[in-house]
Amino acid sequence: MATAPVIAPNTRETTDPPPRGGSRRRRAGRAGRAGGHLRAGWLTYLILTVFTVGSLFPLLWSAIAASHTNSRLAETTPPFWFGGRLFTNLEAAWTDANMGTAMINTIFVAGTVTISTVLFATLAGFAFAKLRFRAKNLLLLLVIGTMMVPPQLTVVPLFMAIAKLEWTNQLQAVILPTMVSAFGVFFMRQYLVQALPTELIEAARVDGANSLRVVWHVVFPAARPAMAVLGMLTFVAAWNEFFWPIIALTQQNPTVQVALTGLGQGYVPDRGVIMAGAFLGTLPLLIAFVLFGRQIVGGIMHGALKG
Amino acid sequence: MTTDHASAAPSVTSGGAAPRHDSGKADGPPSQERKRTERRSRWYRWDLKYSPYAFISPFFLFFAAFGLFPLLYTGWAAMHQVSMTNPNEMEWVGFDNFSRLWDDEFFWNALRNTFTIGLISTVPQLLMALGLAHILNYRMRGSMMFRVAMLTPYATSVAAATLVFAMLYGRDYGMINWALDLVGIDPVSWEAGTWSSQFAVSSIVIWRWTGYNTLIYLAAMQAVPNDLYESASLDGASRWQQFRHVTIPALRPTILFTVVISTIGATQLFGEAYLLAGSENGGSQSQYQTLGLYMYETGWFNLHLGRAAAIAWTMFLLLIVIGILYWVLTRLVGKSNGEEA
């Protein structure tokens, strides 16, 4: 199902900056080292295939189950191939389970959160990577520390706040608290430290550029590959955001995860429709994975190396 | 023209900029010209000094408003009786909410469940990820395809994944029981049993995060210098010995990182337990209710926001204790190994 269109046998793009859109592969050269020190045997392929199947099977099965009637799914032998009910069930999920509203809401929420996270993370990451200011190291430590705060610690006051502001069920209630991310700041900092030559900033300053111009003409172009990766990671995270949305929103104006929670609580008792909802709610990210899987993999590995 | 005003200019850099800009309209009265240069250099200095704060301020403003303040206010709310129906009326109760938790069997149950589920989800997950990363590091075809495929569960939300797994684990029509029946094992009532339900919840976590951790380990393994392996194999080390004595020591910081991240994740485990049967009590016997879920039930189903805040802070303190524990442990391990931090 979601296999990547591009197969990359021997590269180590992970230690390089995350690759851009259609970047060409560098073959040979370091390829000898690239794939590792040992050659894979049939057992390796077998194990990897088993895990690949295991990773993809639940998703594939949700699509299969989404194409059957409730009574077919209640038979002793589960279905292994697609039935004819897929579009009926998808339609039911779209309207009855409110997945339609949910998808549109989530696109808006995740889109806004992604843009603001990437923008603010790039600005702050640039400042931490290349500028001098007071208490820099302490503030950076604070950024890293905030990555560890679990969401449970913020929801009670946030809930009290939105109750007071009467923001329950309104999208800004789930957008505002996630507009920035500590991980993003750290990620951009780590990237810009090495990807943005300090001489370039100095040269721009010599030309009389003020800080905003430096950001616009030097930092953003240099940061673009990392911004793209951070954007994708943020979009995935924002799309899947769960704990706070189910508190702040209800089934009247849900995001995808809130609508899926409604399905899980049995608002629609049809299993085919439940699976259709689960599949539908994952589909946009699956498409993103088919298109940009390589970049996302590269981004996670790149971030990990520095983290 | 601008005379030698370099002393007023903050650095050579803006001194170089001035002539170029002014060359077109150099015929203005010199005093005005000088004033403009001064203004510009003052602005320049000001820009250089304060722009870093402008760049980091959006992050810190949002963090202060939606991270730090709520974190502290949760502690304040934990000292009050607050009802979810009227959340803006608070009554001071001191540490009552905390002492109540101490006598609360459901709290201890949730703590225990969080611990056992955390253990059976994290340990196998990280071990598998380590093994998978090791073999993905072999020279092979289709490596990227395997990586992308193993990462797809990461793109699947907790809610979607749990709905699918809940069906697979279904007692009567679930595929897992059907498969067990094929090999002659009686159907298991997955959701109803304690161990079976905790196993089910853990398997969702494992499914979603193994690929992610694999990539993290793989990235670290690719950074290990190849000569280490070469000299090891010259010394006649087997694959297993190389893995044991070269890979693992080199990966120690990364392993610690994933252990910490997984611990944080396990402590706040919520969605998987909530949606396994769609009930906030985590099973009829609360057999798989986690701390996160218990906090949610307390706050938003039993309407005691103050007590929910107390649970949240307990989780936070727990994390701090675990953090210190890890820190001490790595210190000890580091010492016993000579160097390494």
A19-23, B20-24, B104-108: range with lowest mean pLDDT: A19-23
- State yes or no: pLDDT of A76 exceeds 80: no
Q: From CA A31, how far away is CA A53, in angstroms rounded? A: 28
Chain A CB contacts of B167 under 8 Å are: 65, 73, 271, 274-275
Query: CB distance A297–B142 less than 8 Å?
Result: no
Burial of B256 (0-12, 13-18, 19+ CB in 10 A): middle
Fold of the A94-306 domain: MetI-like fold (1.10.3720)
Tell which wins on pLDDT, B226 or A119.
A119
Q: Dump pLDDT digits (tens) for A82-110.
A: 877 888 888 888 888 888 899 999 999 99
Nearest CA distance, B32 vs chain A (angstrom): 20
Q: Which residues contact A127 (CB under 8 A, 6 or more apart)?
A: A133, B51, B52, B55, B56
- Residue by residue, DSSP assigns B163-204 as HHHHHHT-TTT-HHHHHHHHTTPPPP-TTTSHHHHHHHHHHH
Query: CB distance A265–B278 less than 8 Å?
Result: yes
Nearest CA distance, A140 vs chain B (angstrom): 10
Q: What is the predicted pLDDT for the residue at A108?
A: 96
CA closest to B156 among chain A residues: A282
Q: Which of A155, A202, A301 comes nearest B219 by C-beta?
A: A301
Query: Cα A269–A274–A275 angle (5° rounding)?
Result: 145
A13-27, A109-123, B67-81, B210-224: range with lowest mean pLDDT: A13-27
- State yes or no: pLDDT of A12 exceeds 70: no
Contact between B96 and A179 (Cβ < 8 Å): no
Query: CB distance B139–A149 less than 8 Å?
Result: no
**How is chain B split into domains, by residue range?**
12-77, 96-336
Q: From CA B81, how far away is CA A99, in angstroms rounded? A: 37
A187-191, A229-233, B62-66, B79-83: range with lowest mean pLDDT: B79-83
- Using DSSP's 3-state secondary structure scheme, residue B91 falls into strand
Query: CB distance A48–B178 less than 8 Å?
Result: no
Has domain B96-336 been given CATH number 3.40.50.720? no
- State yes or no: pLDDT of B202 exceeds 90: yes
- State yes or no: pLDDT of B45 exceeds 90: no
Q: Dump pLDDT digits (tens) for B269-317.
A: 999 999 988 888 888 888 999 999 999 999 888 888 899 999 999 999 9
Chains A–B, number of C-beta pairs less than 8 Å apart: 358
**How is chain A split into domains, by residue range?**
39-88, 94-306
Q: Which residues contact A88 (CB under 8 A, 6 or more apart)?
A: none
Query: CB distance A35–B143 less than 8 Å?
Result: yes
- State yes or no: pLDDT of A241 exceeds 50: yes
CA closest to B133 among chain A residues: A48
Structure tokens at A170: 């309104």
End-to-end CA distance of chain A: 31
- Average model confidence (pLDDT) across chain B: 84
Confidence of residue B218 (pLDDT cuts 50, 70, 90): very high
Work out the average pLDDT over B91-99.
87
Nearest CA distance, A174 vs chain B (angstrom): 11
Tell which wins on pLDDT, A245 or A78.
A245
Confidence of residue A9 (pLDDT cuts 50, 70, 90): very low
Query: CB distance B300–A247 less than 8 Å?
Result: yes
Work out the average pLDDT over A67-92.
82
Burial of B318 (0-12, 13-18, 19+ CB in 10 A): middle
Chain A CB contacts of B187 under 8 Å are: none
Chain B CB contacts of A160 under 8 Å are: 77, 82, 87-88, 305
A165-179, A232-246, A291-305, B165-179: range with lowest mean pLDDT: A291-305
Q: How many CA within 13 A on the CB side of residue A100?
A: 8
Q: Which of B60, B88, B223 comes nearest A163 by C-beta?
A: B88
Q: What is the predicted pLDDT for the residue at A304?
A: 61
Confidence of residue B20 (pLDDT cuts 50, 70, 90): very low
Q: Which of A50, A93, A279, A302 is nearest to A193 (CA)?
A: A302
Query: CB distance A56–B175 less than 8 Å?
Result: no
Contact between B128 and A30 (Cβ < 8 Å): no
Structure tokens at B147: 């990586």
Q: What is the predicted pLDDT for the residue at B296?
A: 93
Nearest CA distance, B23 vs chain A (angstrom): 14
Nearest CA distance, A31 vs chain B (angstrom): 9
Work out the average pLDDT over A18-35.
39
A40-54, A132-146, B5-19, B183-197: range with lowest mean pLDDT: B5-19
Helix axes of A42-65 and B105-136: crossing angle, nearest 10 degrees: 130
